[in-house]
């Protein structure tokens, strides 16, 4: 057996398979886009069969004839997205409800009105928002006859995407790692398994849920029918926790921000269960032998998906890369400001009914101004999060960034300017996949600890230093605050 790691990165807009060597070098990659279904305003769905079939196709393409060299599989995934399937047939019972989906806003509001949010936040680290998995599960039970029948018959399995993929790869193992389980509203941060009281509150049967396991270790086995030999699954970790590990934020206080479909900031809080007075989230960063390391998290729902919206829905750009050229072509955005609340507002505002705003338009506004304003929105949202983290006693001294959008040099510099902080970006920005590789390498025994693996597998970094006049920064933030007030 070799020492290579196969990583499955089941994201929101695409699924990928990558082969890493023990030094963290990506040797092969295969990728397939996922269809986004928008049946109603605020609804976002995926086809779980498509996720499985395209993931399988990608992993076979990436591995080729080299299965003997694979020591272990690591899986990282879009979090909070819910799949419901039949335990007996192994087939989905409904479309997956994606993390961006807002259909359970009324149920969340009802629970808030009943006074449950404070206790839920204390126990789970989360807020009552449609973002999280538990209310999506309840919606499926209430509105899908197939899901309800399966529950009544004891055939229902709920899980997030990593759970769904492990079930298919292993031929029936029903597990979820602690990092993903902590995003459901159904796991107490200090509880080993899903909590019966929380499940009762949200109306989700405990029997339908997976076993909560570590983020790294021998967690399941991929059947020989998929790649020609059985391969242990040794890493399972939600995408944002995975990126935090991939950035080497393994010591208390270290902070990373990932700019992918959404934007997500996590600060390592060690063994302290995170508590927030500024509507940030407490989450499990990683778990080994049942011992947890936690993180404080702020989540913005729209980042790269705003650029995708400009391209696909409005036709203003031909590619995401075009935004950097357009941003550099003008001195400023001409007072155009975008509040990217296309799926509501996440932290620290938590306004599920908010909608996107483009303000400051004039006859002088064109493609370049709107594209630049879209990139500026990333720094504005991140500044909101920085203020909230500081309010919770977790002020940032620097920021490590990654994800597809972070490859944009203009945006990386704008972050440094608006935050007035050094921003560090690795040469290899796909740290979400790297984090899963690090977890799997430790789970497979290639490295003894996450720290040892991260030191061996992380590459070179580039640093962006702030270079913006204070009055320019204040003016930008003031215009954004005005636009935010009407979102």
Give the lowest-confidence range in 102-106, 121-125, 276-280, 436-440: 276-280
Q: What pLDDT sits at residue 168?
A: 98
Partner residues linked to 462 by β-bridges: 425
Using one digit for the tens of pLDDT, what is the confidence trace for 12-58? 989 999 999 999 999 999 999 999 999 998 899 999 999 999 999 99
Q: What was the pLDDT predicted at 181?
A: 98
Tens-digit pLDDT profile for residues 430-460: 889 999 999 999 999 999 999 999 999 988 8
The pTM of the full predicted model, rounded to 2 decimals, is 0.86
Contacts of 42 (CB under 8 A, 6+ apart): 101, 102, 103, 105, 343, 344
Residue 471 scores a pLDDT above 70: yes
pLDDT band at 83 (very low <50, low <70, confident <90, very high): very high
Q: Average pLDDT, whole number, for the chain?
A: 94
Phi, psi of 49 (to 5 degrees): -65, -40
pLDDT at 1: 59
pLDDT band for position 218 (cuts 50, 70, 90): very high
185 φ, ψ to 5°? 75, 5
Average pLDDT of the segment spanning 378-382: 95
Domain boundaries, the chain: 4-239
The confidence score (pLDDT) of residue 278 equals 87
| CATH classification for the domain delimited by 4-239, as one of 3.40.190.10, 3.30.420.40, 3.40.50.2000, 3.10.450.50 | 3.30.420.40
Give the confidence band of 112 by pLDDT, cuts at 50, 70, 90: very high
**Is the backbone peptide bond immediately before 219 cis, with ω within 30 degrees of 0?**
no
pLDDT at 262: 85
How confident is the model over 120-133, as a mean pLDDT?
94
CA distance 340 to 342: 6
């Amino acid at each position: 057996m070799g020492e290579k790691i196969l990583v499955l990165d089941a994201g929101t807009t695409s699924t990928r398979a990558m082969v890493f060597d023990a030094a963290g070098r990506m040797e092969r990659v295969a990728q397939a886009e996922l269809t986004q279904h928008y049946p109603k305003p605020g609804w976002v769905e995926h086809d779980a069969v498509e996720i499985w079939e395209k993931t399988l196709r990608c992993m076979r393409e990436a591995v080729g004839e080299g299965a003997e060299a694979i020591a272990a599989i690591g899986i990282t995934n879009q979090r909070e997205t819910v799949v419901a399937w039949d335990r007996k047939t192994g087939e989905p019972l409904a479309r997956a409800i994606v993390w961006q989906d807002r259909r359970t806003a009324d149920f969340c509001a009802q629970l808030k009105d009943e006074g449950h949010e404070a206790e839920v936040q204390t126990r789970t680290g989360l807020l009552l928002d449609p973002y999280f998995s538990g209310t999506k599960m309840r919606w499926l039970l209430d509105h899908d006859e197939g899901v309800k029948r399966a529950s009544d018959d004891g055939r229902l399995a709920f899980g997030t995407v990593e759970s769904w993929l492990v079930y298919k790869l292993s031929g029936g193992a029903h597990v979820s790692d602690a990092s993903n389980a902590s995003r459901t509203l159904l796991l107490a941060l200090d509880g080993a398994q899903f909590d019966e009281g929380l499940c009762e509150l949200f109306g989700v049967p405990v029997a339908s849920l997976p076993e909560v396991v570590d983020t790294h270790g021998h967690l399941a086995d991929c059947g020989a029918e998929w790649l020609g030999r059985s391969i242990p699954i040794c890493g399972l970790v939600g995408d944002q926790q995975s990126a935090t590990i991939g950035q080497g934020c393994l010591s208390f206080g270290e902070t990373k921000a990932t700019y992918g479909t959404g934007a997500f900031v996590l600060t390592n809080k060690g063994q302290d269960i995170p508590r927030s007075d500024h509507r940030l989230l407490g989450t499990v960063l990683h778990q080994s032998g049942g011992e947890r390391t936690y993180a404080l998290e702020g989540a913005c729902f729209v980042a790269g998906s705003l650029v995708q919206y400009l391209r696909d829905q409005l036709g203003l750009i031909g590619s995401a890369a075009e935004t950097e050229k357009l941003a550099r072509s003008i001195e400023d955005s001409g007072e155009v400001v975008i509040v990217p609340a296309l799926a509501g507002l996440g932290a620290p505002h938590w306004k599920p009914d908010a909608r996107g705003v483009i303000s400051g338009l004039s006859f002088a506004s064109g493609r370049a101004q709107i594209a630049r304003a879209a990139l500026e929105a990333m720094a504005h949202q991140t500044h909101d999060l920085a203020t909230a983290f500081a309010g919770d006693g977790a002020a940032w001294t620097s920021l490590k960034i990654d994800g597809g959008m972070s490859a944009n040099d203009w945006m990386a510099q704008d972050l440094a300017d608006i935050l007035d902080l050094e921003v560090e970006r690795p040469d290899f920005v796909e740290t979400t996949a790297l984090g899963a590789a690090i977890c799997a390498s430790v789970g497979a025994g290639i490295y003894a600890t996450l720290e040892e693996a991260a030191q061996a597998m992380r590459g070179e970094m580039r640093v962006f230093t702030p270079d913006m006049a204070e009055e320019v920064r204040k003016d930008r933030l003031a215009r954004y605050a005005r636009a935010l007030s009407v979102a």
